[in-house]
Amino acid sequence: MFKFTDFKVTVEFESVYVNSKEKIDTLMHSVDSMGLSREQLLIVLESLSSRGALIELIHEHKYEVKALVKYLFDYLEPFENVTFSDGVTLLRDYYSMGFQIGRKLKKYPKYLKSMHDIIMANYKAFKKEYDKKKFVQMIRSDLKYENKKYAVVVPMTPKQIIEEGTNLNHCVSSYVDKIIQGKTYIVFLRYVKLKSDSLVTVEVLNNKVVNAKGSYNRVISEDERKFLTEYCERRRMTLEVKAE
């Protein structure tokens, strides 16, 4: 149940039906002081019932409802040509990104679209630097290993993970966040004499090698699996990957 005190009405998500004329009329009567049209009220109700960005702005970022709705309808729509729905999302993203990077932002900025783009650029730069620092903290140098033919190379930066995915045409680049969060780990299997050239990407999870794929997700060869067996024995891990 969400108490919408500015509207002097309780909106119960499980029981509000915006096509109920009686309920709409009751709600419209409650918000006369805001000067909302019936169409605008329906838009607000739809945003509330979706439990999305509008709720986040009110609950998490302490936006005052009356001022928020007025800004969305009376400024963004006529002056920036942004619909209520798009405006809610744009404002939520703008304020949330600013909050995450420690910037104190105006809650109701002029030129929201421009300010959103500026904050997004700052946020991306911040996140990139943050990811680098967190990634360095997660580096597992103990997973390095090599014999006369193959080597296990430990990536030192997120960029190396991304390059591995590009070189081998698979989706390992999407694993960067998981590595930072400690949910999994990625190492590279390469030829000793060609340590800079991508060959096989290996996933390590809970002291087990759970995945190993080459270019275009090819299954590893018997020779590559033989090396991984040796590697797991030396590093006291379990191998759960089959060869072609």
User: Hey, where are the domains in the chain?
Assistant: 2-126, 141-239
- Is the confidence at residue 140, as pLDDT, over 70? yes
Higher model confidence: residue 82 or residue 22?
Answer: 82
Count CA within 13 A, CB hemisphere, residue 179: 30
Provide the percentage of residues in the chain whose pLDDT is more than 90: 45
**Going by C-beta distance under 8 Å and a sequence separation of 6 or more, which residues neighbour residue 116?**
90, 93, 94
The phi and psi torsions of 46 (rounded to 5 degrees) equal -65, -40
Choose among 15, 82, 71: nearest CA to 45: 15
| pTM metric for this prediction | 0.59
Alpha helices in the chain (DSSP H): 21-30, 38-49, 53-59, 65-70, 77-80, 84-100, 112-138, 158-168, 176-180, 222-234
Query: What pLDDT, in 10s, does the model give residues 65-115?
Result: 888 888 988 899 889 999 888 888 999 999 999 998 888 889 999 999 999
128 falls in which pLDDT band (50, 70, 90)?
confident
Q: What number of residues does the chain have? A: 244
35 falls in which pLDDT band (50, 70, 90)?
low
- Is the confidence at residue 6, as pLDDT, over 50? no
Query: What pLDDT, in 10s, does the model give residues 150-170?
Result: 999 999 998 899 899 889 988
For residues 157 and 176, the answer to whether their CB atoms sit within 8 Å is: no
Which pairs count as long-range contacts for 111-116, CB under 8 Å and 24+ apart, including other chains?
A: 111/80, 112/76, 112/80, 112/82, 112/87, 113/80, 113/82, 116/90
